[in-house]
Structure 1
Amino acid sequence: MINNLNQTNHSLSVAITYPYPLGKASGGARMTREIARHLGKLGVKVVLLPVSSVPLSRFPRPKLSNHFLGFEYDGELAKDSVEIVRVRQNYFHWRLDGLNVRKTIQKILKQHHLDLVLSYYHEAAFLPSFLHFHKIRFGYISTWQSYDLALNGFANGGKLYRAVKKWLDSWLIINAHRKADIVFATSYFTRNELIDIMNLDAEKIVVCPLGVEGKFLEITRNEPEEITRFLFFGRFTQLKGIADALEALGLLANRGYDNWTFRVFGQGACDWVRNLASKNRISDKVIIHGPIGDDELSLELQKAHLAILPSHVESFGLSIAEAQAAGIPVIAYQAGSVPEIVENGVTGWLAPYRNIVQLSLCIEKAINNPKQTYQVGLAGRERVKRMFSWEKTSRLMFEKMQEICSNKNKKSFVYSK
């Protein structure tokens, strides 16, 4: 249902589509809310269109519980000129959610002017030509974990399946990206992927790192006598590195380092994580929880001495930046955009990609040098404070959106092949 949208005068009117619900406990949902909120604070009228979609599902698609829809954020976002219009998932397939997104924008346009629509991924598949017809600029917030993996990986089916996936990705994902007027990439790693994998015009891409909420910078830090409290927060998937973290801690325990606990928070198969902990003989040291809200996360960050976040690839690494903002040193891999966020040996320690032995040695180094580890955490906090804020992110986005929307002579949807 679309309410009567606020017609207050604003410098820009922007719709932001998001392929999943806002209430899902994920970095993507948190990021989307913060981008919308801070653009609103700059005077942009923002209409946020999250899709009430169960990821990667097809007919018969399960219905989401209201718990995931994020109604609790509506009031606070409205204070910053952000209106939320939830989009129903397509009845048949996740790839067709974009049809409902287009239909919803069509309804919005009957009562509300839009200068620009920003999207994330597949939910924008059917927007470019429609927006071009209505003389509305179109862009992406490119923060997918890895475009290479999304488009070239995960094709475990037969030859026909892979051919169909490649055709659908080309039609619904790549072509839509090539027709964008502007693309905000959250790291140089992502920028390079967009150029190499999708053949995007480099001139359209603006590297725009994400921000970190100020409340994480305010978390109290006290120097510990020992480094004993480890933390992981993120999705329970291979790509997020939870299996690597548990294996590294198993090696650590085998070397006699057993005075620690590892608190694990996230969305996914908790039983799988428990089995991994058991396999590595550290079940008694691993405490596993489901997803938690921002306030609970702040409390966990305050207690932790070390964040172990060995993601295999990141487009930015919001969890990594948030841990550093809280003054916690990070153990991670030299992978994806992580070296852009963590300064190795200064704000954390980075092991070579998929090198479990080196990952465990990084943890051992942190344990053996508690004073240095504490100082490394403080250095990370200062670096995040200096480099990554939502105010900086939104200001850069605002300036580039104004530029693209004011340039009426520039033809939309021109791209280099």
Structure 2
Amino acid sequence: MPPGNPFRIFSPLNFYEFASSRFGVFPEIKAFSFRAFFKLRELVRHHRFHILHDNQCLGYGQVLWKTLGIPVVATIHHPLSIDRATWFENPSTLKQKVKRVLYYPLLMQGWVSRRMDRIVTVSRDSAREIASAFGVAPEKIRVVYNGLDSEEFAPLPGWTKKPNNLIFVGNSEDRKKGLLYLLQSLVYLPQEITLTVVDGGAPQRAFGPLLTEKYGIAHRVRFTGKIMPGDLIRHYNSAEVAVVPSLYEGFGFPAAEAMACELPVVACTAGALPEVVGDDGAGILVPPRNAKALAEAIWRLLKDPDLRRRMGRAARERVLKLFTWEKAARQMVEVYQEAIDAHG
């Protein structure tokens, strides 16, 4: 309930959020876009804005932002149709399917995205998916790769590797992260190979632990839960191989972070991962949903220390060349200037 005056729940936007959430709809996107418009309308009376930038809200109210006479740019990391499609791969009841269809506002986001002055996304693959799923004209889409702090994510001098240890970083409850196939791959690998799962996602994590029990590998898998950034960097530096078995990534921060720490990567040929890992010796790419292929690539690296070192060095060089925040910032400024110039 709203603090102070509980009757404010009956104001149009508050009541819409309350009522629609009872039916499993995700109302925050639409409500926020209108609230933002009302606030922006106040602000433009006293402040001058050269550009408005939305980060994947894409609510109906965002189209009203354009009435303020300011160009609007939106970032779309990837279309939510991918999340919905991956979710539907898992067994579910009819009620769950209906709730999931209501949860993802695909029609609204597609309609709004086509009306933005420019769309920014984080990979060429995401650009293709946005054009296909939302019908955005390709000439309006600009690719700006994500950056990371390569001074923080870096090799730690003198840090000791844990032999035969793999690392997975991601939300284990998110099926498109592919943890299922990584855990299956451990069955094909020698018993001494262990896995550290760094999971900062859902507070209640059941999917991963249940699978480790099912496959008889619970003693080989450690779930850290949510950890601080410094601890994450130490985990990267302790592992010998990073595995990113995702079924889709709009970019793939875990791959880039591991690469910045001079860690060789085994990843899937899914989404933007081939763009991040590349074909210049930073890692090994395998088909998605293929536990045996993952196991073979992991074993190839674990049994060859020289290959791991070469790939690790190539991985960091690739990050320093392509995925810095400085480069991302320069490219974003170019997109802003382009949108401003086109707006007149």
Pairwise same-fold verdict (TM > 0.5): yes
1:372-391 matches, within 5 Å, as: 372-391=307-326
What is aligned with 2:32? 100
What is aligned with 2:77? 143
Q: Does the C-alpha gap of structure 1 residues 318 and 58 become closer, same or farther in structure 2, counting only changes over 3 Å?
A: farther
What is aligned with 1:200? 136
User: Residues 182-234 of structure 1, C-alpha deviation per residue, up to 9 Å, x if partnerless?
Assistant: 01121111111112222211111111111111234433266978841211111
1:238-253 matches, within 5 Å, as: 238-252=175-189
Choose from 215, 237, 253 the match for 2:151. 215
Please list every run of at least 4 consecutive aligned residues from structure 1 whose deviation after the TM superposition is greater than 6 angstroms: 223-226
Paired letter, 2:52 = V
Q: In 2, Cα distance between the equivalents of 1:225 and 1:167? A: 42
Contact 1:231–1:263 (Cα < 8 Å) also in 2: yes
Q: In 2, Cα distance between the equivalents of 1:219 and 1:58? A: 48
Q: TM-score under structure 2 normalisation?
A: 0.82
Q: In 1, Cα distance between the equivalents of 2:62 and 2:126? A: 22
Q: Secondary structure in 1 aligned to 2:288?
A: coil
Paired letter, 1:141 = T
Paired letter, 1:249 = L
Q: In 1, Cα distance between the equivalents of 2:320 and 2:27? A: 38
Paired letter, 1:97 = I
Q: In 1, Cα distance between the equivalents of 2:335 and 2:288? A: 35
Q: CA deviation at 1:388?
A: 0.9
What is aligned with 1:82? none
Q: Does the C-alpha gap of structure 1 residues 100 and 270 become closer, same or farther in structure 2, counting only changes over 3 Å?
A: closer
Q: In 2, Cα distance between the equivalents of 1:270 and 1:210? A: 28
Q: TM-score under structure 1 normalisation?
A: 0.69
**Higher share in helix:** 2
The CA RMSD measured in Å over matched residues stands at: 3.0
What is aligned with 1:132? 66
Q: CA deviation at 1:127?
A: 3.1
In structure 1, stretches of 5+ residues that fail to align are 1-56, 62-91, 410-417
Matched, 1:341 2:276: yes
Q: In 1, Cα distance between the equivalents of 2:170 and 2:100? A: 32
What is aligned with 2:42? 110
Contact 1:226–1:370 (Cα < 8 Å) also in 2: no
What is aligned with 1:5? none
Q: Percent of counterpart pairs with the same letter? A: 23
Q: Secondary structure in 1 aligned to 2:27?
A: helix
Q: In 2, Cα distance between the equivalents of 1:380 and 1:177? A: 34
Q: Does the C-alpha gap of structure 1 residues 224 and 151 become closer, same or farther in structure 2, counting only changes over 3 Å?
A: closer
User: Residues 99-152 of structure 1, C-alpha deviation per residue, up to 9 Å, x if partnerless?
Assistant: 23432442244243333222233x3312333112111211221213x5442465
Contact 1:217–1:381 (Cα < 8 Å) also in 2: no
1:359-398 matches, within 5 Å, as: 359-398=294-333
Matched, 1:119 2:54: yes
Q: CA deviation at 1:352?
A: 1.4
What is aligned with 1:178? 114
User: Residues 278-333 of structure 1, C-alpha deviation per residue, up to 9 Å, x if partnerless?
Assistant: 22221111111212222221121121211111011111111111110111111111
Q: Secondary structure in 2 aligned to 1:118?
A: strand
1:53-64 matches, within 5 Å, as: 59=21
